[in-house]
Amino acid sequence: MTPRMLKQTLEEWSREVHVPADLADRALRRRSRLRLTRLAGAVSCAAVVAAVALLVPLVVAPRFAPPLDTGGSPVVVPVQPYRQTTPAQDVLADAENSPPKTMIAAGRVAVSAYYTWRSRTVAGRKVLDRTWYLLDQVTGSYEKTEWGWAEVAPGLRWAAVLEKDLPVRRIGIFDMETRRVTAWVAVDHPVGGVAWSPDGTRLLATAYDGSPDLDRTSVDERRCPVRVAATPEDPRQPPFQMISTSRTGYYVVDVATATAGDFHAVDPCLTDNSNVRRDFGWSDDGTLVREPSNIWKRPDAFYDLDGRPHDAPAGYVITESRAGVSPDGALLAGPDGMPTAVTELATGKIVGRQQVLQLLAWADDRRLVALGCAGTCGNEFHNGLVLVGVDGEDMVQLSVYRKNSLEPEAWQPVLTLR
Residue 36 clears pLDDT 50, i.e. is over it: no
Beta partners for residue 204, in sequence order: 195, 252
- The closest alpha carbon to 246, from 262, 228, 265, 225, belongs to 265
CA distance 98 to 29: 58
Centroid of chain to Cα 4: 20
- The closest alpha carbon to 417, from 133, 5, 80, 87, belongs to 87
The beta-carbon contacts of 277-281 under 8 Å, at least 24 apart in sequence, are 277/192, 277/193, 277/212, 277/213, 277/245, 277/247, 278/206, 278/212, 278/245, 278/247, 279/192, 279/193, 279/195, 279/204, 279/206, 279/212, 280/193, 280/195, 280/204, 280/206, 280/250, 281/195, 281/204
Share of the chain above pLDDT 70, in %: 76
- The closest alpha carbon to 348, from 332, 337, 362, 359, belongs to 332
What is the predicted pLDDT for the residue at 274? 80
- The closest alpha carbon to 165, from 117, 131, 211, 207, belongs to 211
Residue 291 clears pLDDT 60, i.e. is over it: yes
CA distance 281 to 258: 19
Yes or no: say if 156 and 104 are a contact pair by the CB < 8 Å rule.
no
- The closest alpha carbon to 188, from 259, 277, 120, belongs to 259
What is the predicted pLDDT for the residue at 296? 74
Share of the chain above pLDDT 90, in %: 64
Residue 178 clears pLDDT 90, i.e. is over it: yes
Beta partners for residue 310, in sequence order: 302
CA distance 247 to 128: 16
73-93 per-position pLDDT tens digit:
668 899 999 999 999 999 999
DSSP label at 30?
G
Yes or no: say if 339 and 356 are a contact pair by the CB < 8 Å rule.
yes
42-53 per-position pLDDT tens digit:
434 344 334 433
24-33 per-position pLDDT tens digit:
444 444 444 4
346-398 per-position pLDDT tens digit:
999 999 999 999 999 999 999 999 999 998 888 999 999 999 999 999 999 99
Q: CA geometry: angle at 317 spanning 313 and 318, to 5°?
A: 120
105-121 per-position pLDDT tens digit:
999 999 999 999 999 88
Number of CB atoms found within 10 A of residue 277's CB: 18
For 103, half-sphere exposure in the C-beta direction (CA atoms, 13 angstrom radius) is 19
Q: What is the pTM of this model?
A: 0.80
342-358 per-position pLDDT tens digit:
999 999 999 999 999 99
